[in-house]
Amino acid sequence: MSLTEKFKYISPRENAGSMASNRFDFQKNWAICKLIELTNSGVDFLLAFEYHEDIIVLDSVNNPTKIDFYQIKTKDKGTYSLSNILTKKKLKKGDGGSILGKLYQNKLNFDSETKSLNIVSNNRFSIKSIKENRLVICCKELDDKEKLEIEENLKAELSIQWLHEFLDVIFLHNSELTIEHHNEITKDKLNKLIESLYHTDVKYNPSLAYRTIFDEVNRRNNIERKINNFEELIHFKSISKDDFDRMLKIVVSEPDKLKLAKNRLFDRLDNAGVSIPLRRKLSEAWKDVQIEYLSLNNDFFNQCVNSINKVIDNNIDELYGAVWENLDKLYVLLLQQKEIQNQKIYTEYFLKMVILKELYNEE
């Protein structure tokens, strides 16, 4: 059975744990840094979110044969010991799995396809036999006592027959990201990647580039639909090498077009004498609108844009009033569209800003 076929029959484990917003953002920033690392390496890849593990990386989007599994852990203070990752979590009804036990279950599900099992932490791992500070520790480097501790705990937890080569695929990572500054560190890494791939004098907005890619990662990470096959995993929960390359090209080239479109639209509003409060609300909404126009494969946003253009096309001959009068009229008509009525994502002024952009066909 191929790896892609296995995804149809092996369901991801339930993940009911909660995490503070900053911890989730740390994980998403780590994923962006991983995308940067993979891009710099030149290899093909497919990085998927919250599927069998926090992050998984497959070696191909077309015919994958190997997977790297990553479990991301954060804590404010202290270090992670072997005991921390081998102790089973206490639940209201019995014991849950240990950190390493849950991670190792992936090896049991995808034996020949597992390339590595990785625990990533913002703090270092305190391993007695490893004296120096290391960013990466392979468990085969541990001393015999520590190896035996891992063996005995995983044998008991998972009821498996142990092989010493199992340790060859288990890695402990001390991330360069910190809880306090993961946004800034990731933004810096992204800027360096863009400058290395394109001309050093390329004009782009670093903050907009970072926010656009972070929002795309956030959107794919947070999709909670059931994934039934590999094709759905690619479309809804993953970023491929080609996807990331397109994202980078968009954040370098498209913002100038959007800035020009914004300037033209607000010149039109100013010339029409739009009120200052309305102008400020629309200007604030534009910050989110431009992110959506820069996003890849945002099906719902594209549906909304299609609905807006349908309303405009059906009523174009009735738009005789001032800019804001036409805007209000189109907005009322848009609210009659079923997909708009049922959505709770986009605000009134977000939708009005999109209406303006589509109405005046600003590219």
Angle at 209 between CA 276 and CA 56, to 5 degrees: 130
Q: Which residue would you say has higher pLDDT here, 88 or 34?
A: 34
The answer, yes or no, to whether residue 305 has pLDDT greater than 50, is: yes
Q: Which amino acid would we find at residue 318?
A: E
Sign of CA dihedral 52, 57, 59, 60: positive
pLDDT, residue 9, reads 79
Instruction: Please answer whether residues 361 and 307 qualify as being in contact, where contact means their C-beta atoms are separated by less than 8 angstroms.
Output: no
Instruction: Please answer whether residues 360 and 333 qualify as being in contact, where contact means their C-beta atoms are separated by less than 8 angstroms.
Output: no
Please choose, from the candidates 290, 343, 349, the residue with its C-alpha nearest in 3D space to the C-alpha of residue 324.
349
Q: Which amino acid would we find at residue 312?
A: I
Which value, in Å, is the radius of gyration of the alpha carbons in the chain? 25
Query: What is the pLDDT averaged over residues 202-220?
Result: 86
Sign of CA dihedral 229, 242, 47, 295: negative
Per residue in 37-93, pLDDT tens? 999 999 999 999 999 999 999 999 999 999 999 999 998 888 888 999 999 887 666
Q: Is 32 helix (H, G, I), strand (E, B) or coil?
A: helix
**Burial level of 117, CB count in 10 A (0-12/13-18/19+)?**
buried
Query: What is the pLDDT averaged over residues 251-259?
Result: 79
**Which region, left, alpha or beta, applies to residue 220 given φ > 0 means left and ψ of -120 to 50 means alpha?**
alpha
pLDDT, residue 16, reads 47
* Cα–Cα distance for residue pair 306/148, rounded to 1 Å: 61
* Cα–Cα distance for residue pair 246/249, rounded to 1 Å: 5
Output 224-231 pairs: Cβ under 8 A, ≥24 positions apart: 227/7, 227/12, 227/51, 228/8, 229/4, 229/7, 229/8, 230/4, 230/7, 230/8
Q: Is 112 helix (H, G, I), strand (E, B) or coil?
A: coil
Scored b (16 or more CB within 10 A) or e, 79-107 reads: ebebebbbebeeeeeeeebbbbbbbbbbb
Per residue in 148-171, pLDDT tens? 999 999 999 999 988 888 999 999
pTM of this prediction?
Answer: 0.80
Q: What is the DSSP string of 243-279?
A: HHHHHHHHHHHHHHHHHHHHHHHHHHHHHTT--HHHH
pLDDT, residue 274, reads 86
